[in-house]
Structure 1
Amino acid sequence: MLVMLCCDKYNLKCLSRRCQICKNKVIPYNEFSNDQEIEYYEWGRDKKKVGQKEINITKKFKRTTQIRNLILKREDSLPKFFSHTANIINQYQTITELKKSLNDYETLVHMDFSENYSYRFAKEVQSLHFGGSRGQLVNALDTIHQQWGLIYRKHSSLYLKKSPNITTDSPSSQYRNKYIFYIMTQLQNVFSSLKSVTWNYQEVGHGKGTPDGVGAVVKRTADYQVKC
């Protein structure tokens, strides 16, 4: 869709619909009869009872609707999709520029805080896939909050792996909490030469570059070992 509706899918003007050439482009739908209904699948949130408590789960729902309704639903989602993509492109471009413009006294730390590793078995019963049945490894292979990243300096880069002494208050918060703000105010007590710090969160729901790839390789390698 981005190729179809934008002059350049990496251009922020096109993605923000401010480009004079492509801002009025629309998806060319074929002619159809609205008497017919169409089936489609949609991801959604649902609740599932596990033991005595209810948990939120994400599942795929099968829907049936008229073609026009589905088209309208798709069109309604386009602004959010364009905004989401524009944020991703803008952030990556900004990070690239920051890496290029670092001086001798600056450091850029690009990190990914991934979830714990959910353990696998060589053979599994069907019920293991549902609810909260599948457990997670904690403190094994440093997977209690895998923290992978790269430290960028002016003339070099360095892989960063989680310190075993790092603890956190809640994995699901992804460090968006009051504690991180307090810690940042205390950093100068440890690093007296520190002048300023910025902490930026990237757009949700997409890969975070090299750090994300490192974490993925570790987990898939563990999966492969289990299968063997």
Structure 2
Amino acid sequence: MPLSRAEIQKGYRERKKAKEGESYLRKERTRRMKYCSLSRVVNQGKKTKKQTECRAKVHPNVELSLATFCRMRPKHILNTSMISRSCCLCTKHQNMALLLRCLKSNGIQVPLNPESFMKQTDQPNLQDKLPDDVKYSQWKRIEVTEKGKTKNVTRIVELNAEKKLFIESFQAQLKEFESHVFRVRRQYQEIKSLKDKLPKHHFIVQMDFAENYSCKSNEEIQSAYWNMTSVTLHPIVVYFMNTDMKLEHQSFVVVSDELSHSAITVHGILEKMIPKLKEIDEDVEMIHYWTDGPTSQYRNKQVFFTIANHKEIFGVQARWNYFEAGHGKGPCDGLGGTTKRMADEAVRSGRTVIQHADDFFKLAVESNLKGIKFLFVSSDECKSAANILSARNVKPLQGTFKVHAVIGKGNSIVAWNEVSCHCDQCFLGDNPNFDHGWKVQSLNNRTNNLKINTGEDDKLAEEADKVMEQPPTTNERKIDLIDGEYVAAKYDRTWYIAKILQIDDSDEVEVTFMERKKQLFQWPARENILWIPVTDVICKVTEPVYTGKSKRMLKLLPEDKEKILNLFQ
């Protein structure tokens, strides 16, 4: 005789309470939601083999239709279609979570949330509870070969380590993670504090590059699908105080046919955006920029130089703040998504065809997104910005990778800090409180032709000169490097061949990397230019020579490769 619904639910509660038998609940939380494959709803109304087997195990004597089974689903059991997929997560947080899962799988009682683990006062005894050989997973960039081509991809890698080495690595990673979490929280606290006490005639400009929009048609031929044109989108959210001293915001989206997300494009965007800010408030005194920190876009010497001389270039003072890596999510992400969704809906409805950036901009201006102002920056405007930047002779900022706050002081001088600070002196004073970690540096090479009239404090300039004259405090250089030489350099736990572009007087060098193609090398279609620490330079090598009929591939001399492998190991 079939069981009633009350009997079925009673049996479910008893099994859950006693924790016996075959449980069909998965207890792992995903975004605070429990889910179960039992509750999967099949649109066609057919019983799947998996569902039938699960019901047979839990209630072997019950005959139940799929419709009744789905109708009786408890509210806290979610359909798989309701479960979100997390993406764009922080690498440091995820790698720490993977280490905690490893500890959990070896019988060590630890929370799976890395920040909850960090708050624990009593750390577990790893020495006694871990096996001699520890298996764990980490997100890493690895080199893979597909269809004869070698490329770097980010994947979860299964690793083995001796217990002692694993514990040392875990403790070092935990220490780095604690500093990472501190900067994450500090930067979010600072932007919240800044919004709470933002003075009149000050603007907060939060911005980020969105993922490029791929132009598409409602009906398109096959070759068009594989040759889509992209459009650059750069959302901007501006906060300011109105006449009633209440915080307001205005949204902008910059549309461009310039696909390089570089300092050149950023400069072109600033030239287009700042006049719009002056339309909102003619007496604007200060702009507080907030962005994430990729060195190819916002955190580089060209942007630092722009901030240092922002008053002379744009007529207004500026500060630039950077969120911690992997934690730059904000209103700009939603703004970019809304704009692309509007374009997709227009294409699907057949109202328009978007084939290039001009079509996208025209559609956006005529759309019903009245709360968003759209600006267009052409590739020609970016070329003009490139000419301006190329005329500069800028000295790199010492410790670029640590910078999270930059204040422009004029005369190519900046004050920078590892975290933002908006205390009364740092925020309202002429100079920041140097006891709070601020450092001063001049970005102006002595041969720079930029003429700037400044009334800044002479003591500040003298202090910057003293900083520049100090020898590096990091590891001494063991290799004499010259611009234009070829070197082998470490990057992301492997080595590459690179050409030196510039050398910093401190501890960094600007290089352009080659791509590895099995045993050969090739210049990439887009330049891979990075600032790296001098300590990451393995050795100097002879300039690679072209090989093959096409003369596109280059090879190293055997003695150079042998030297690299010996030193790298």
Interval containing the TM-score (normalised by the shorter chain): 0.5 to 0.7
Query: Aligned residues: percent identity?
Result: 29
CA–CA separation in structure 1 for the residues paired with 2:341 and 2:191: 27
Say if 2:203 is the partner of 1:147: no
**Larger deviation, residues 51-60 vs 182-191:** 182-191
Counterpart selection for 1:94 from 176, 190, 194 = 190
Higher RCO (CA < 8 A, seq sep 6+): 1
CA–CA separation in structure 1 for the residues paired with 2:160 and 2:341: 36
One-letter identity of the residue aligned with 1:55 = K
Say if 2:305 is the partner of 1:177: no
Measured after TM superposition, the shift of residue 108 of structure 1 is 0.5
Q: Secondary structure at the match of 1:70?
A: helix
Measured after TM superposition, the shift of residue 204 of structure 1 is 0.8
Relative to structure 1, the CA distance from residue 206 to residue 92 in structure 2 (aligned partners, 3 Å threshold; closer, same or farther) is: same
Greater fraction of residues in strand = 2
Report the equivalent of 1:2.
Answer: 115
User: What are the superposed Cα offsets for residues 179-213 of structure 1, whole Å, 9 maximum, x if unpaired?
Assistant: 43454467556754x2x101122211224322234
Measured after TM superposition, the shift of residue 72 of structure 1 is 3.4
Relative to structure 1, the CA distance from residue 33 to residue 199 in structure 2 (aligned partners, 3 Å threshold; closer, same or farther) is: closer
User: What are the superposed Cα offsets for residues 143-198 of structure 1, whole Å, 9 maximum, x if unpaired?
Assistant: x2x32232110221122212448775638702333443454467556754x2x101
Measured after TM superposition, the shift of residue 65 of structure 1 is 3.2
Say if 2:180 is the partner of 1:84: yes
Say if 2:164 is the partner of 1:72: no
Relative to structure 1, the CA distance from residue 197 to residue 63 in structure 2 (aligned partners, 3 Å threshold; closer, same or farther) is: same
CA–CA separation in structure 1 for the residues paired with 2:134 and 2:141: 22
Contact kept in structure 1, 2:237 and 2:252, CA below 8 Å: yes
Report the equivalent of 2:318.
Answer: 197
One-letter identity of the residue aligned with 2:129 = F
1:44-63 pair list within 5 angstroms: 44-49=140-145, 54-63=150-159
Report the equivalent of 2:230.
Answer: 138
Contact kept in structure 2, 1:116 and 1:136, CA below 8 Å: no
Q: Which consecutive unaligned segments of at least 5 residues does structure 2 have?
A: 1-113, 217-225, 264-293, 348-569
Report the equivalent of 1:108.
Answer: 204
Say if 2:330 is the partner of 1:209: yes
Measured after TM superposition, the shift of residue 117 of structure 1 is 5.1
CA–CA separation in structure 2 for the residues paired with 1:183 and 1:75: 40
Report the equivalent of 1:158.
Answer: 250
Q: Secondary structure at the match of 1:176?
A: coil
CA–CA separation in structure 2 for the residues paired with 1:218 and 1:149: 12
Relative to structure 1, the CA distance from residue 74 to residue 85 in structure 2 (aligned partners, 3 Å threshold; closer, same or farther) is: same
Relative to structure 1, the CA distance from residue 185 to residue 2 in structure 2 (aligned partners, 3 Å threshold; closer, same or farther) is: closer
Q: Secondary structure at the match of 1:39?
A: strand
Contact kept in structure 2, 1:151 and 1:157, CA below 8 Å: yes
Relative to structure 1, the CA distance from residue 42 to residue 136 in structure 2 (aligned partners, 3 Å threshold; closer, same or farther) is: farther
Q: Secondary structure at the match of 1:107?
A: strand
Once superposed, what is the RMSD of the aligned Cα atoms? Answer: 4.1
Q: Which consecutive unaligned segments of at least 5 residues does structure 1 have?
A: 7-21, 121-133
Relative to structure 1, the CA distance from residue 180 to residue 34 in structure 2 (aligned partners, 3 Å threshold; closer, same or farther) is: closer
User: What are the superposed Cα offsets for residues 20-79 of structure 1, whole Å, 9 maximum, x if unpaired?
Assistant: xx7xx34224752634x4432111122245678743322221112345543432222011
Higher-Rg structure is 2
Measured after TM superposition, the shift of residue 5 of structure 1 is 3.7
Relative to structure 1, the CA distance from residue 198 to residue 67 in structure 2 (aligned partners, 3 Å threshold; closer, same or farther) is: same
Contact kept in structure 2, 1:5 and 1:26, CA below 8 Å: no
If the length of structure 2 is used for normalisation, what is the TM-score?
0.28
Number of equivalences: 189
Q: Secondary structure at the match of 2:159?
A: strand
One-letter identity of the residue aligned with 1:32 = K
Contact kept in structure 1, 2:239 and 2:249, CA below 8 Å: yes
Contact kept in structure 1, 2:214 and 2:230, CA below 8 Å: no
Relative to structure 1, the CA distance from residue 57 to residue 119 in structure 2 (aligned partners, 3 Å threshold; closer, same or farther) is: farther
Relative to structure 1, the CA distance from residue 87 to residue 220 in structure 2 (aligned partners, 3 Å threshold; closer, same or farther) is: farther
One-letter identity of the residue aligned with 2:115 = L
Relative to structure 1, the CA distance from residue 88 to residue 191 in structure 2 (aligned partners, 3 Å threshold; closer, same or farther) is: same
CA–CA separation in structure 1 for the residues paired with 2:175 and 2:341: 34
Q: Secondary structure at the match of 1:85?
A: helix
